Amino acid sequence: MCGFVTLWHAGDEALARDMVARLSHRGPDATEVTALAGAPVVMAHSRLAIIGPDDGRQPINQGDDMLVVNGEIYNHEDLRAILGADEFESASDSETILHLFRTGAGRWISRLDGMFAFVLATPGRIVAARDPLGIKPLYMARHGEGLIFASELKAFDGMGLVDIEAIAPGSLYDSARGHRQWYRIPHGAAEAEPGLDVTATARELRLVLVEAVQKWMVADVEVGSFLSGGLDSSIIAALAARSRARAGKTPLKTFAVGTEGSPDLMAARKVAAHIGSDHHEHAFTPADIADVLPHVIYHLESADIDLVRSAIPTHFAAKLARRQVKAVLTGEGADELFAGYTYHHGYVDDPRALADELTRSLGTMHNINLQRVDRVTMAESLEARTPFLDRDLIDFAQSVPASLKLCRTDADAAEATGPTTEKWILRKACADLLPHDLVWRKKAQFDEGSGTVDALQEALRMITGTTGPIGRDVEGAVYERFLRQAYREPDMVLDNAGTWEADRVRRPAA
């Protein structure tokens, strides 16, 4: 996991070094700046060593080609065997991208399985691409006749650039051929076909989940897991704990945060005891929130109220985890795949509309929840991994009818007429992993279950010097003020930031 900058017909090593310095939190293990011989290209890279820590230095400079990568390629060993191990000069998973590109295959990039953003340069050509859902960030700016690429917007701050865009998830930019969408999210199924074996569907989902977690734990360093006590992170942690136990490794390290006595801390303790993890927790206070809020907003690159609220517990969890590990698993993506948000309940009688909404929301994760997870964890030099967003799991989950994700049912029968239950098929698939009351516990947003909402109110009163409830208008103004104070060009950041409410279709709750 890393941060990088690439200049193409756009500057020199001094500029690249200045830009990548603002991304040093993404990769504290090493920083290198390299110019490509015979080409107007400079690349800078700050590295967090996860795979191939001894010989995975970047930029990767081989022959006439140079490459910088942020992320992980989980099928790199399979690709290495197919491409020929003798072609490789390092143990780094990132080098796989270079050799796939050199095959000249039309859809070479589709063979990469993981989370990634990269820029690859040859003397007369530059290629930049991003993983299917945009788990890892990548921005491109036009600078005169050239292009500048960077992992975060803050790298561009103060440069006066007006033409900045995010490389879209699942897309590739080629200076020789333009933009291309190499991955499209499969559209979700709506109603179950007659005769569908629901039990078999849940069983298959479980198998796909197991494989995804095992795949996303591949690393040359220890991988821990966030554990909020909610369904999603608990499932991931339970599967990861089993995987480590089967491999004869030490217990999984889990990390939970919240205010003292909050529901999340209590639930996480119960889950940790059940799965036998090496559990760590931290209780934060309103004063702690007031202290870290400017830092969180600067790194989040957004003043959106809902994102800031959820970023606060993420920050404390990341700081806690980084004392023990370099990488963690998270439960991000389950709500979008399996209908886990409160507003989804309004779709319970319209599976087609629900399937459409889930597909839409998957396509917008990159500039809301995935931006939060990436920026806030990387601010603490911690790699966050999202097994629910594994490509194989996305494909399978989108084939599961929406009517099995959100339905009027209880814990025992898919055809019951009880209260609306979100993520029903996911709960059924993982019912044996966790205590019954936790499997069927109603969802609470991370900022609610952790106690952040109430503590944040008190923190905002400290910041504003006022008493009484703080409304969303005042709250939003505080966040924007902090962002504007942090950047020389705050409008550049605000203009490129996503918002939770954007394009979201809400219906009255059922």
Contact 135, 115 (CB under 8 A): yes
- The token duo for 364 is 């917008």
Name the architecture of domain 198-334+348-401+448-495.
Answer: 3-Layer(aba) Sandwich (3.40)
Exposure of 17 by Cβ count < 10 A (0-12 exposed, 13-18 middle, 19+ buried)? Answer: middle
Query: How many CB atoms neighbour CB 62 within 10 A?
Result: 16
C-alpha angle 399/402/407, rounded to 5°? 145
Residue ranges of the chain that CATH labels 3.60.20.10: 2-181
53, 118, 129, 133, 173 from 181: Cα distances, Å: 32, 15, 10, 12, 9
Question: 324: which residues sit within 8 A by CB, 6+ positions away?
Answer: 222, 224, 253, 255, 280
When computed from its CA atoms, the radius of gyration of the chain, rounded to whole angstroms, is: 22
pTM over 0.85: yes
Domain 2-181, CATH homologous superfamily name and number: Aminohydrolase, N-terminal nucleophile (Ntn) domain (3.60.20.10)
Separation CA 328–CA 255 (nearest Å): 9
Kind and range of the H or E run holding 2? strand 2-8
Q: Please provide the average confidence, as pLDDT, over all residues in the chain.
A: 93
Pairing of strands 114-122, 65-73: antiparallel
pLDDT (0 to 100) of residue 93: 92
Residue 2 among the catalytic residues: yes
Exposure of 211 by Cβ count < 10 A (0-12 exposed, 13-18 middle, 19+ buried)? Answer: middle
Q: What is the pLDDT of residues 448-470, one digit of tens each?
A: 567 889 999 999 999 999 999 99
Is 491 marked within a binding site?
A: no
Residue 157 Rama label (left phi>0; alpha psi -120 to 50; beta): beta
Q: What is the pLDDT of residues 181-194, one digit of tens each?
A: 999 999 999 999 89
Q: Smallest Cα–Cα separation from 421: which of 436, 406, 439?
A: 406
Choose the catalytic residue: 2, 67, 240, 320: 2
In the predicted model, residues of the chain with pLDDT beneath 50 are 411-416, 446
Q: Smallest Cα–Cα separation from 478: which of 257, 253, 290, 245?
A: 290
Separation CA 52–CA 427 (nearest Å): 37
Q: What is the pLDDT of residues 285-310, one digit of tens each?
A: 999 999 999 999 999 999 999 999 99
Separation CA 293–CA 297 (nearest Å): 6
- The token duo for 185 is 């999210």
Q: Smallest Cα–Cα separation from 453: which of 305, 281, 294, 333?
A: 305
Question: 299: which residues sit within 8 A by CB, 6+ positions away?
Answer: 25, 375, 376, 378, 379
Contact 307, 372 (CB under 8 A): yes
Separation CA 341–CA 327 (nearest Å): 26
- Name the packing angle between helices 351-362 and 391-399 (round to 10°): 170
Please name the amino acid found at residue 82.
I
Contact 372, 430 (CB under 8 A): no
Contact 30, 46 (CB under 8 A): yes
Give exposure, 153-187, as e/b (b: 16+ Cβ within 10 Å): bbbbbebebeebebbbbbbbbeeeeeeeeebebee
Is 93 marked within a binding site?
A: yes
pLDDT (0 to 100) of residue 442: 66
Give the distance, in angstroms, between the CA of residue 210 and the centroid of all CA atoms in the same chain: 19
Residue 500 phi, psi (nearest 5):
-60, -35
